């Protein structure tokens, strides 16, 4: 749903930054929810996260990287053995193929190391701008906006852009928020999308930015009923997540 209201560019920028600051206050602990120890692990985990959950990927990657810790190890892995490891992630044959190809190119063209530049990352097999920005922002400290389904949905719902194409969304939102905040903005919006602003039934009555959101009212507006829709660490009775308390 796209809801862009009539407002000047300056007003839109001020509103977007106000919403970001408020959401950051709700999720000060927002972070990449894929577990990783180095750029290679994050790159592979992000590729594996397609059409499955981060929770599932995090259950699989410890065994994957214990068996094949380097790009060279991954490139030389037995296909059938890797397929069994990746089976829980779904589409495991295609994902095995992707990991094997990706690792081979890293070995052949980058000495087994993950490059730290966007223009190099997007040339890798199966790596688009979304994956590249995840790796840059979280493994290399290079600011980047990660436009996944949650980010795109929220950017349109909040009236920051009416663009549907992820690259256009990335550029439009990048004009509204300082570059230094791009990576945390990505985490915050993804957290909000997973926990409060759900695709089918957003918890509008429990949303901290409802007063500035042109889509307020498309979901449950009653505060008590909306609170019951909150997920993860925000759910009633849930234990605080690490770093929240």
For 170-186, how does the pLDDT look when each residue is reduced to its tens digit (9 = 90+)?
A: 999 999 999 999 999 99
CA distance 49 to 55: 9
Asked about 148 being catalytic, the answer comes back as yes
pLDDT at 24 over 70: yes
pLDDT > 90: what percent of the chain?
Answer: 94
pLDDT in tens, 123-160: 999 999 999 999 999 999 999 999 999 999 999 999 99
As a whole number, mean pLDDT of residues 198-203 equals 96
Determine contact, residues 207/215, Cβ cutoff 8 Å.
no
pLDDT at 12 over 70: yes
Q: What is the pLDDT of residue 245?
A: 39
Quick one: pLDDT band at residue 191, thresholds 50, 70, 90?
Answer: very high
Q: What is the pLDDT of residue 239?
A: 63
Neighbour-count burial for 94-117, b at 16+ CB within 10 Å, e otherwise: ebbbbbbebbbbbbeeeebebbee
Asked about 123 being catalytic, the answer comes back as no
Catalytic residue among 35, 73, 120, 148: 148
Average pLDDT, the chain: 94
As a whole number, mean pLDDT of residues 197-214 equals 97
Q: Helices 92-110 & 79-86, crossing angle to 10 degrees?
A: 120
Compute CA distances 51 → 11, 47, 67, 128, 149, whole Å.
37, 10, 24, 15, 11
CA-atom Rg of the chain in angstroms: 19
Quick one: pLDDT band at residue 238, thresholds 50, 70, 90?
Answer: confident
Which range has the worst mean pLDDT, 3-12, 22-31, 174-183? 3-12
pLDDT at 3 over 80: no
Which range has the worst mean pLDDT, 105-119, 121-135, 172-186, 226-240? 226-240
Quick one: pLDDT band at residue 109, thresholds 50, 70, 90?
Answer: very high
């Amino acid at each position: 749903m796209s809801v862009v209201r009539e407002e000047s560019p300056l007003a839109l920028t001020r509103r977007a930054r106000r919403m970001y600051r408020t959401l950051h206050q709700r999720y000060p602990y927002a972070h990449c929810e894929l577990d990783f120890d180095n750029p290679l692990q994050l790159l592979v985990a992000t590729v594996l996260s397609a059409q499955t959950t981060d929770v599932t990927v995090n259950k699989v990657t410890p065994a994957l990287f214990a068996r094949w810790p380097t790009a060279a190890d991954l490139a030389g892995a037995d296909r059938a053995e890797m397929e069994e490891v990746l089976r829980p992630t779904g589409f495991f044959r295609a994902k095995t193929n992707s990991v094997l190809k990706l690792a081979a190119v890293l070995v052949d063209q980058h000495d087994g190391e993950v490059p730290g530049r966007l223009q190099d990352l997007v040339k890798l097999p199966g790596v688009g701008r979304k994956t590249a920005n995840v790796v840059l922002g979280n493994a290399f400290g290079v600011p980047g906006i990660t436009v996944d389904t949650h980010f795109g949905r929220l950017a349109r719902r909040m009236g920051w852009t009416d663009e549907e194409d992820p690259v256009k969304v990335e550029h439009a939102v990048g004009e509204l928020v300082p570059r230094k905040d791009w990576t945390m903005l990505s985490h915050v919006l993804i957290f909000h999308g997973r926990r409060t602003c759900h695709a089918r039934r957003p918890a509008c009555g429990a949303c901290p930015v409802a007063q500035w959101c042109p889509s307020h009212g498309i979901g449950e507006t009653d505060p008590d009923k909306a609170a019951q829709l909150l997920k993860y660490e925000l759910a009633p009775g849930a234990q605080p997540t690490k770093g929240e308390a």
